């Protein structure tokens, strides 16, 4: 068995791509538009996983956009997406500068949580050992649910 992908439904494909690609830094690997089924699938990979994703078709994040409007609820009920980052403080600063709220700040120098525009919980983990505590993160409280 091998991990292939995680699928999340999105309401606004362009907004979702802006978040996952422009803010988080994922890259589009492939796209599939199905006119008969009225949906689009977009497969994304982290930059360090791109070559493997293109060769093995994994690991990927699949964004599923159904063309007909639907109400998406309970984005957190499946758990969360997790990505390892090189420098958690710099990553969180870049994400906040893009207007996204860090809901669980990296107080411990190791872990942070945010949410996509569709309410999907995303965990960021520091690569290797936790970084030393650093302000403003060390004293920042959680913001909403994560």
Q: Model confidence over 24-35: pLDDT tens digits?
A: 999 999 999 999
Catalytic residue among 73, 123, 135, 141: 123
Mean per-residue pLDDT for 98-115? 96
Task: Classify domain 81-139 by CATH architecture.
Answer: Roll (3.10)
Ordered alpha helix ranges (H), 31-115? 50-56, 88-97
Q: Answer whether residue 122 shows pLDDT above 80.
A: yes
CATH 3.10.180.10 domain locations along the chain: 5-66, 81-139
The answer to whether 30 touches 142, Cβ cutoff 8 Å, is no
As separate numbers, helices (DSSP H) first and strands (DSSP E) second, the chain gives 3, 8
Cα atoms in the Cβ-side hemisphere of radius 13 Å centred on 117: 17
Q: Answer whether residue 77 shows pLDDT above 70.
A: no
Q: Which residue has the tokens 């830094």?
A: 25
Domain range 5-66, its CATH number among 3.30.420.40, 3.10.180.10, 3.20.20.70, 3.40.50.720? 3.10.180.10
CA separation for the pair 124, 126 (Å, rounded): 7
Mean per-residue pLDDT for 8-33? 95
- Supply the pTM of this predicted model: 0.79
The answer to whether 54 touches 48, Cβ cutoff 8 Å, is no
How far, in whole angstroms, is CA 4 from its chain's centroid? Answer: 16
pLDDT at 48 (0 to 100): 96
Dig out the tokens for 26 from the structure: 């994922």
CB atoms inside a 10 Å sphere around CB 145: 11
54 carries an active-site annotation: no
Mean per-residue pLDDT for 59-65? 92
């Amino acid at each position: 068995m091998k991990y292939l992908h995680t699928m999340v439904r999105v309401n606004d494909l362009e907004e979702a791509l802006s978040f996952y690609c422009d803010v988080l830094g994922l890259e589009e690997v492939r796209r599939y538009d199905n006119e008969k089924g009225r949906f689009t699938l977009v497969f994304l990979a982290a930059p360090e996983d791109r070559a493997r994703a293109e060769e093995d078709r994994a690991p990927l994040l699949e964004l599923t956009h159904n063309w007909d409007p639907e109400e998406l609820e309970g984005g957190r009920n499946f758990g969360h997406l997790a990505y390892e980052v090189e420098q958690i403080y710099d990553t969180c600063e870049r994400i906040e500068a893009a207007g996204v709220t860090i809901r669980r700040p990296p107080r411990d120098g190791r872990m942070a949580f945010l949410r996509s525009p569709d309410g999907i919980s995303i965990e960021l983990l520091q690569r290797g050992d936790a970084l030393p505590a650093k302000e403003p993160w060390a004293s920042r409280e959680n913001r909403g649910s994560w």
